[in-house]
Structures are given as C-alpha cells and as structure tokens.
C-alpha cells in the first residue's frame, strides 16, 4: 500500500489518464483516539482499487463504497464515523474517537 501523499496523488493522476473515474477521501477532522491523523488520504478508482488509508483499516471498506457512489454521482460527501455510532462498530472503529472524511471526485 502506498501511503505518501505524492504516491496517492500520482496514482489518482495515472488512473484518470487511463480513463478511470477517481475519488479522493481525506480525513478532515479527528476527535479523541483516531487511527489516522487529519490530512490522511485514500484514493479510489471506479473498479474499487484503492491506495492509502484513512483509518488504518477500520473504516476503509465503508469509505471505498461511498467513494464509488461519489464517482458515479459526482456529488461530494462528508462522512463521519465515531465510537458512539452503531455504524462505527459495524465497520470496526472501536478505538474511542471520531473521524470525519471528505470524499470528492477527481477531475
């Protein structure tokens, strides 16, 4: 998995040039114990391939699913996962914090 910002952005650029739809997910806010800091990002293409991390594995599946919807619709989304949410436990965010992730289509 590539996790440097330049690697993630390069992958997004390469996928776009190859004709893929692409979305970028970025942690914009954390509270409490969060698995990844604000600024962490993940890039997804329209076949579900992704690089990077927004949660150290906890919520990546949910973010990838939302990113595929963003690619299809073109409408950005703000996602929030927190330990108080039932959804957080379902996707594995049991570390005691909250993260907000902004997902936007690239290109």
Residues 22 and 105: beta-carbon distance below 8 Å: yes
Give the percent of the chain with pLDDT over 90: 63
Whether 68 shows a pLDDT value over 90: the answer reads: yes
Question: What sections of the chain are H helices per DSSP?
Answer: 5-17, 60-73, 86-91
Q: What's the whole-model pTM score?
A: 0.84
Whether 79 shows a pLDDT value over 50: the answer reads: yes
Number of residues that this document lists for the chain? 107
Residues 6+ apart with CB under 8 A from 75: none
Q: What is the CA radius of gyration of the chain?
A: 13
Whether 31 shows a pLDDT value over 50: the answer reads: yes
Residues 25 and 51: beta-carbon distance below 8 Å: no
């Amino acid at each position: 998995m590539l996790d440097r910002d330049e690697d993630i952005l390069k992958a997004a650029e390469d996928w776009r040039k190859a004709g893929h739809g692409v979305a970028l997910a970025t942690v914009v806010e954390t509270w409490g114990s969060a698995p990844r800091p604000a600024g962490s990002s993940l890039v997804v293409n329209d076949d579900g391939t992704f690089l990077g991390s927004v949660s150290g594995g906890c919520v990546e599946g949910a973010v990838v699913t939302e990113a595929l919807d963003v690619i299809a619709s073109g409408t950005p989304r703000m996602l929030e996962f927190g330990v108080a949410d039932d959804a957080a436990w379902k996707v594995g965010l049991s570390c005691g914090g909250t993260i907000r992730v902004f997902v936007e289509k690239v290109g």
